[in-house]
Amino acid sequence: MIYLDNSATTQISGEVLDEMMRIYKDIYGNPSSAHKLGQKAKELIELSRFKIAELLNANPEQIIFTSGGSESDNWALKGVAFKKKRGHIISSSFEHPAVLNSLKFLESQGFEVSLVNPNEHGIIEIKDIEKEIREDTFLISLMSVNNELGTIQNLEDLSILSRNNNILLHSDGVQAEPWVKSDFKKSNLDFYSISGHKLHGPKGIGLLLVKDRESILPLINGGPQELELRAGTENVALICALSVALEQKNKNLQEVIKKVYNLHKYLEKSLKEKLTGIKINCEDAPRIPSISNISIKGVDKQQVLTLLSMEDICISAGSACASGSLSPSKALKAIGLSDEEANSSIRVSISQFNTQKELDIFIEKLSSIVKKLRNEEVV
């Protein structure tokens, strides 16, 4: 099996899995219980919180564990909106569905939303956000890295704009976090979403960094867990596993970036040499080193995915959370692609566990499939 869909989810690392299983087996007490096993579980949660705070340069009380990126995004948007009760939110038209659908819900509750389109390079221009600011704008939400294109957004300048206008700023950092050494204090963000399974950690765990707990209301009510901001019995094993995943990521970051960058460069160069009628979308934009979004003239993306899957090669046509949609990708349409181009586009996403040999096999199989679909002679 050749797995090239790492933007959808990643292979869990051995060290992370070992830590998770150890805690599931030995430290199974409820962290809210007063007995020794419960208090040991509680201690592990707080040790993980302190470790992650150090890794992300945040205060421990700013880290609230969630079930993943979608919950973190939902909470950041709805928790702030419910606190404000009315007003205006600015975001982009190519956010993750967790953001876009949360905004649709908030519109149904009387809030007003403005969505800014990216330019043809997959970048949201700060001047376009600035044009949308109103007196009642209370929140801007912009993903750090687009999950389909891999384009890196300018959060540094956006944070200055939001501060100057006294507007809260949230970023979905799910795709960015594997490739950066985050510094929450320096970022000037108010909220930042992270998901464990994009970091070679487990599914079902993430966090929301909250700069000021007074700026947001809980989304889940119940007990006093997570500093009284998120009720529910904590999953100790997953929290500790997330801590290990983030620690490993920071420790090996430069080595991993170098390896994946070289694989990414090799992939795109080889595809352009091997196939005609292909376009690397947003090729000249600043991108993370893992994602390649490729339009292939004269083919249907679903046919390509199915035929590659039959060869035990896993890629995608875009966001996993929107994979059930038959409509062209909103992200690709937003950068100006036609329906035909969007419906012929695939996403290949590489991780540290991939090899050049795997890419060679993928390129050869893809080339053969494309030629067959185009009714070209296969040599």
According to DSSP, the residues that pair with 313 across neighbouring strands are 2
Q: Which residue has the tokens 């690392």?
A: 13
Quote the CA–CA distance of 79 and 135 in Å, as a whole number.
20
Question: Quick count: other Cβ atoms within 10 Å of Cβ 324?
Answer: 6
User: In what helix (H) or strand (E) does residue 269 lie, and over which residues does it extend?
Assistant: helix 236-274
Question: Quick count: other Cβ atoms within 10 Å of Cβ 122?
Answer: 28
**Nearest to 47, CA basis, from 247, 251, 248:** 247
Instruction: Order the strands of the 345-349 sheet from edge to edge.
Output: 278-280, 291-296, 345-349
Q: Which residue has the tokens 């007063």?
A: 34
71: CB partners within 8 A, 6+ apart: 206, 208, 219
Alpha helices in 275-321 (DSSP H): 301-310
**Nearest to 243, CA basis, from 90, 61, 6, 16:** 16
Q: Which residue has the tokens 């889940």?
A: 220
Question: Active site includes 282?
Answer: no
Quote the CA–CA distance of 298 and 221 in Å, as a whole number.
51
Question: Quick count: other Cβ atoms within 10 Å of Cβ 330?
Answer: 19
User: In what helix (H) or strand (E) does residue 348 lie, and over which residues does it extend?
Assistant: strand 345-349
Active-site annotation holder among 240, 282, 314, 321: 321
Show the tokens assigned to 176: 């960015």
Quote the CA–CA distance of 361 and 109 in Å, as a whole number.
50
Q: What letter does residue 63 receive in the DSSP assignment?
A: E
Q: Which residue has the tokens 């993980």?
A: 48
**Nearest to 345, CA basis, from 166, 102, 122:** 122
Active site residues: 321
